[in-house]
């Protein structure tokens, strides 16, 4: 099924899911979450001092990556709009989603500037570098896009929420929880559209699932030093192989999309499904080794 056909078939499902989203999402205001009374002016050229807000460096890495990812919104909008803009309800969703995403960066940057939790000069230079390179995943079809964003919204929800748990700061925790709640509703919209896509075009959607599961990369790959930030984020359990395996590959791909029982697959799509299941098993083994090694390193460090 081509993209235009897929959008047409999915439109009634998207309308119902969009209505559910509007009925569930409640209005909130970024400015009410920011602890403004903790802020003061920056003198031009002033050196940032990490002692102004002591934090483990891995948590700083997570805040840095999370904010820069939100900052890259224009390019995510571009990718999604390229696939969705032909169809009324998708267009409406795309705009609403963009407006909701935009306030994440607004609130998080205000919080980080007021509390001085990150070096504002390094952050601004990293934002400029990232947005000038404009590297974002570019899924090849409507179904690839839906599968990717479903996994990515859940991954982002998990990452924001786990970052918040490591902030010993009530305002910071509430900000990360608030953003995670938005990401959760985005995830539910895309997750259930993929279920609908598996009904209307099972074989095409299974191929998309295989491509996106195999190639999945967290948003943020275009950020300077992303591999070292990602490693730090994994080390403290904000987002790691075990979480990816358990909550996304098993929780969504196997349990929610139930790929092992999808009906109507042709022979090639059935083979793709089998490869996805093998891949998930393999990631599970890597995840277990990763967690064991991390526990050994922590035990050695503690002993
Ligand atoms: Fe967001
Ligand atoms: Fe989101």
For residue 51, the CA-to-ligand 2 centroid distance in Å is: 32
Residues of the chain below pLDDT 70: none
Q: Which ligand is nearest to the CA of 102?
A: 1
For residue 278, the CA-to-ligand 1 centroid distance in Å is: 31
Q: Which ligand is nearest to the CA of 97?
A: 2
Which backbone phi and psi does 265 adopt, to 5 degrees? Answer: -80, 140
DSSP state of 51: G
For residue 269, the CA-to-ligand 1 centroid distance in Å is: 33
pLDDT at 39: 95
CA distance 121 to 45: 9
Reported as a single tens digit per residue, the pLDDT across 28-46 is: 999 999 999 999 999 999 9
CA distances from 162 to 177, 178, 190 (A): 9, 12, 22
CA distance 55 to 166: 9
Burial class (CB in 10 A: 0-12, 13-18, 19+), 154: buried
pLDDT at 224: 87
For residue 102, the CA-to-ligand 1 centroid distance in Å is: 7
CA distance 74 to 79: 9
Structural contact between residues 194 and 146, judged by C-beta atoms closer than 8 angstroms: yes
Reported as a single tens digit per residue, the pLDDT across 131-150 is: 999 888 889 999 999 999 99
Structural contact between residues 188 and 97, judged by C-beta atoms closer than 8 angstroms: no
pLDDT at 31: 97
For residue 113, the CA-to-ligand 2 centroid distance in Å is: 22
> What Rg do the C-alpha atoms of the chain give, in angstroms?
20
Q: What angle do CA 73, 183, 262 make, to 5 degrees?
A: 105
Among 201, 91, 196, 101, which residue's Cα sits nearest to residue 152? 101
Tell me how far the alpha carbon of residue 275 is from its chain's centroid: 24
Q: Which ligand is nearest to the CA of 220?
A: 1
Structure tokens at 163: 């970052």
For residue 181, the CA-to-ligand 1 centroid distance in Å is: 10
For residue 278, the CA-to-ligand 2 centroid distance in Å is: 29
pLDDT at 130: 93
Contacts of 61 (CB under 8 A, 6+ apart): 228, 229, 232, 233
Among 214, 58, 71, 82, which residue's Cα sits nearest to residue 133? 71
For residue 62, the CA-to-ligand 2 centroid distance in Å is: 16
Q: Which residues of 167-195 are buried (b: 16+ CB within 10 A; e: fewer)?
A: bebeebbbbbebbbebbbbbbbbbbbbbb
For residue 67, the CA-to-ligand 2 centroid distance in Å is: 12
pLDDT at 77: 93
For residue 153, the CA-to-ligand 2 centroid distance in Å is: 5
For residue 267, the CA-to-ligand 2 centroid distance in Å is: 35
For residue 101, the CA-to-ligand 1 centroid distance in Å is: 4
Please give the model's pTM, rounded to 2 decimal places: 0.94
CA distances from 159 to 65, 138, 154, 276 (A): 10, 21, 9, 24
Per residue, the 3-state secondary structure of 131-181, as one string, reads HHHCCCCCCCCHHHHHHHHHHHHHHHHHHHHHHHHCCCCHHHHHHHHHHHH
For residue 246, the CA-to-ligand 1 centroid distance in Å is: 22
**Residue 238 CB-half CA count within 13 A:** 29
For residue 293, the CA-to-ligand 1 centroid distance in Å is: 31
* Tally of CB atoms within 10 A around 16: 13
For residue 186, the CA-to-ligand 2 centroid distance in Å is: 5
């Amino acid at each position: 099924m081509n993209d235009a056909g897929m959008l047409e078939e999915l439109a009634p499902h998207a309308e119902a899911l969009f209505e559910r989203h509007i009925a569930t999402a409640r209005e909130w205001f970024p400015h009410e979450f920011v602890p403004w009374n903790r802020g003061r002016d920056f003198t031009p050229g002033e050196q940032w001092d990490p002692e102004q807000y002591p934090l483990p460096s891995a948590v700083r890495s997570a805040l840095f990556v999370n904010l820069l990812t939100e900052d890259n919104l224009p390019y995510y909008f571009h990718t999604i709009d390229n696939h969705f803009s032909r169809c009324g309800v998708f267009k409406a969703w795309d705009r609403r989603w963009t407006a909701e995403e935009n306030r994440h960066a607004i609130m998080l940057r205000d919080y980080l500037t007021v509390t001085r939790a990150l070096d504002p000069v390094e952050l601004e230079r990293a934002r400029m570098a990232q947005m000038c390179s404009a590297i974002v995943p570019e899924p090849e079809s409507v179904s690839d896009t839906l599968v990717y964003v479903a996994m990515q919204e859940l991954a982002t929800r998990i990452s924001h929420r786990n970052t918040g748990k490591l902030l010993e700061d009530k305002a910071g925790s509430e900000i990360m929880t608030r953003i995670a709640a938005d990401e959760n509703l985005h995830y539910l919209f895309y997750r259930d559209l993929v279920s609908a896509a598996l009904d209307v075009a099972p074989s095409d959607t299974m191929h998309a699932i295989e491509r996106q599961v195999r190639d999945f990369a967290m948003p943020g790959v275009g950020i300077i030093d992303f591999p070292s930030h990602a490693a730090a984020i994994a080390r403290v359990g904000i987002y790691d192989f075990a979480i990816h395996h358990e909550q996304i590959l098993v929780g969504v791909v196997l349990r929610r999309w139930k790929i092992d029982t999808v009906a109507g697959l042709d022979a090639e799509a059935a083979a793709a499904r089998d490869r996805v299941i093998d891949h998930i098993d393999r990631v599970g083994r890597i995840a277990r080794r990763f967690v064991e090694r991390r526990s050994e390193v922590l035990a050695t460090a503690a002993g």
